[in-house]
Structure 1
């Protein structure tokens, strides 16, 4: 970690000049300048004073947050196919099982269906991009057409099946991840 770069970023985010930060910490502008260029290192006590002047603390300052990826392409997706049940499943967000939600894209061939999922904590949402499906929740069966969506608590066995004669495509989101 380049401490100087991070201090400079925090200083500019707080709309402070080097001189203003130096005054807050009873340091010189020259010291702040050298620090931001990583030409000198502060003592722990001095760093604590600087961070207080920037409205943060040691713990938050050194808690590195990874840049998270926001946009994903087709190349990021992982795909699996089940010929017996006649579906293709695409994890459109890589490693989504580590997240709170797990979105997938599922394509069901005519007479295809997803695997039956047991009851679990959480909820599920889906949007039918093309085709018609049935959502099976316990002993209930609901038809969902292109352009419609579904949302339910996953407290009973559940799965989806293709209700039509053409392929059905569904964006399906489960929380917590279960696919």
Structure 2
């Protein structure tokens, strides 16, 4: 799989083409585009655009497609770095963008933990542009922990909203309905950890 490279300061960050991984996994599982669209509850045209690199999925869409493929969202990320899975160096970690970019609300996820089989954790730095977020309610098995590195987000769990600032942390069971949004005018950066790796 070929990853695009997006410059970020003096280092080059590999940007993952989720669509290629999605298509590859779909074909390995013997699913047609129509079958996967039915399982994920979306249209064939949306999946086709994602698979062909003409659109990036939203965070919510990545959850739905990964669930339909029987894998965590982290399975859609290409592994890079140390083959032993111990170290993921700055500038070599996989990064994926969401479809919110066309509306100026991009979110970027930088993987901090290799997406190997059998991992009990997944961890990311989630860069959330103003107006960006989960684009709807998420709900899945597991636990989530987060720490706000920069900026602010509004986290909603069980219909209760919390405004989080740098230094604030959060934890909740992922089965509880949850969503988040950056409702400020500045980029927010959140360290986000899930177990098991549903994301």
TM class, shorter-chain normalised?
Answer: 0.5 to 0.7
| Per-residue Cα deviation, 1:101-149 (whole angstroms, up to 9, x for no partner) | 1001110001111254643322100000000111111311111101111
2:195 is matched with which residue? 175
Residue pair 1:96, 1:102 contacting (<8 A) in 2 also: no
Moved over 3 A (4+): 115-118
1:71 is matched with which residue? 87
Residue pair 2:152, 2:165 contacting (<8 A) in 1 also: yes
What is the distance in 1 between the residues matched to 2:172 and 2:117?
A: 19
Aligned Cα root-mean-square deviation (Å): 2.1
Summarize the Cα distance change of 1:130–1:173 in structure 2 as closer, same or farther, 3 Å threshold: same
**TM value normalised by structure 1:** 0.56
Corresponding residue SS for 2:113: coil
Larger Rg: 1 or 2? 1
2:139 is matched with which residue? 119
Aligned runs of 1:61-140 on 2, under 5 Å? 68-84=84-100, 85-95=105-115, 98-116=118-136, 118-140=138-160
Q: Which runs of 5+ in 2 are unaligned?
A: 1-82
**TM value normalised by structure 2:** 0.51
Q: Which runs of 5+ in 1 are unaligned?
A: 1-66
Give the count of matched residue pairs. Answer: 113
Cα distance, 1:96 vs structure 2: 5.1
